Amino acid sequence: MPLYRRPNGIDLPFSSEITPQDIFESRRSFIKQIAVGAVGAGSLLQLSSGEAWAQAAGAQKLAAKANPAYVVMDKATSYKDATTYNNFYEFGSDKSDPVENAGNLKTRPWTVAIEGEVKKPMTLDIDSLLKLAPMEERIYRLRCVEGWSMVIPWIGYSLSELIKKVEPTGNARYVEFTTLADNRQMPGLRAPVLEWPYVEGLRMDEAMHPLALLSFGMYGQVLPNQSGAPVRMVLPWKYGFKSAKSIVKIRFLKDQPRTAWNIAAAREYGFYSNVNPDVDHPRWSQATERRIGEDGFFTKKRKTLMFNGYNDVASLYSGMDLKKYF
Ligand code: MTE
């Protein structure tokens, strides 16, 4: 996160995707399937983003139906980039720490407690959560507050599906996500970078918006540990840090919850944290972004779009001063 950004703003370069011959061959047969119409548009993007690479790496598949309502035409980020350049501070603060340190995270058994202002509080194990609603593949852009972005084929369902099951009371105005903080498994907890556990939150109407995805997988397979296994949020219209990884508790509240980055630096990270090119971070502009995988010394940055291009959500904030509520 920003506290560790190098003074010149340039992150370490990372290696390009390796495509061995066998993967190349499987891509060719996949392209033939596309030609005969055997796979959908989402899968086409998966292919270009290295799904075959992921499958070859022995990952566990997760079936999902591509949802054509949630597709972006930008080229998907390679699987390798998406899983080796991560922010997951519980495993360390360098971009390569999560892939190096999260390998042994125990993601089964795993439960998520749902409590607070709900008529039906419950604790669900990961298998019940996986079965709660049909799995969809959705290709979302994710924009990190640090100024980079990725395009990822996520798998999951709208958080609203889960919310409906627990029946929030009339007092539920906010949702809080608490993530795992286990000293035995997470070496990053030794560093007092954030107040642990990592906590994030949404207003109830934001949480109910269909874009808010409860995610269990990416690129046709279950989430790799460094990406937030076994269950995380993906909120594409907000800066990446709002998308909490490895969730263990979801609590419904009357009052706005405190959130990890806001506690650490309130002036820099607001509760809403909607992607907004017009509101600079106190230490840098948010007007442009670097798409991971497009790096090159002369590569032009992309313009950052209001709400990261997800204008559907604008009505959630009508009448609000988004400079004040950043
Ligand atoms: N969730 C937890 N539990 N811990 C974290 O450090 N980092 C956040 C978010 N969720 C983080 C987290 C940040 S800063 C970003 S940008 C995204 O996860 C990164 O997700 P990705 O690594 O899958 O791209």
Mutate which of 11, 14, 87, 218 for ligand 1? The one with the most ligand atoms within 8 Å of its CB, which is: 87
Q: What digits encode the pLDDT tens for the residues 108-118?
A: 999 999 999 99
Tell me which residue of 304, 266, 309, 311 sits closest to 287, measured CA to CA. Answer: 304
- List residues bridging with 232 in a β-sheet: 215
d(CA 77, CA 99): 17
Helices vs strands, H then E, count in the chain:
9, 13
Nearest CA to ligand 1 atom 24: 86
pLDDT for res 297: 79
d(CA 176, CA 201): 4
- In a domain? residue 222: yes
Confidence of residue 295 (pLDDT cuts 50, 70, 90): confident
> Looking at 17-26, 135-144, 152-161, 310-319, which range is the least confident one?
17-26
Output the average pLDDT for the chain: 87
- In a domain? residue 317: no
In a 13 Å sphere around the CA of 284, the CA atoms on its Cβ side amount to: 16
Structural domain of 88: 15-310
Count how many domains the chain has: 1
Burial class (CB in 10 A: 0-12, 13-18, 19+), 132: middle
d(CA 213, CA 138): 9
Nearest CA to ligand 1 atom 14: 241
Residue 91 has pLDDT above 90, yes or no: yes
Write out residues with Cβ below 6 Å of ligand 1: 1, 86-90, 142, 144, 179, 198, 227, 240-241, 243-246
d(CA 21, CA 42): 24
Q: 277 CA to middle of ligand 1, Å?
A: 20
What is the dihedral angle through the alpha carbons of 158, 160, 166, 168, rounded to the nearest 10 degrees?
160
Residues 6+ apart with CB under 8 A from 312: 209, 211
Q: 183 CA to middle of ligand 1, Å?
A: 18
Residue 48 has pLDDT above 70, yes or no: no
- In a domain? residue 321: no
Residue 10 has pLDDT above 80, yes or no: no
Please report, for the domain that includes residue 230, its CATH number: 3.90.420.10
Q: How many other CB atoms sit within 10 Å of the CB of residue 170?
A: 7
Nearest CA to ligand 1 atom 10: 244
- In a domain? residue 320: no
Q: What digits encode the pLDDT tens for the residues 264-277?
A: 999 999 999 999 99
- State the pTM of this model: 0.86
Q: 20 CA to middle of ligand 1, Å?
A: 29
Residue 13 has pLDDT above 50, yes or no: no
Residue 207 has pLDDT above 50, yes or no: yes
- In a domain? residue 1: no
Annotated binding-site residue numbers: 86, 89-90, 144, 179, 232, 243-245
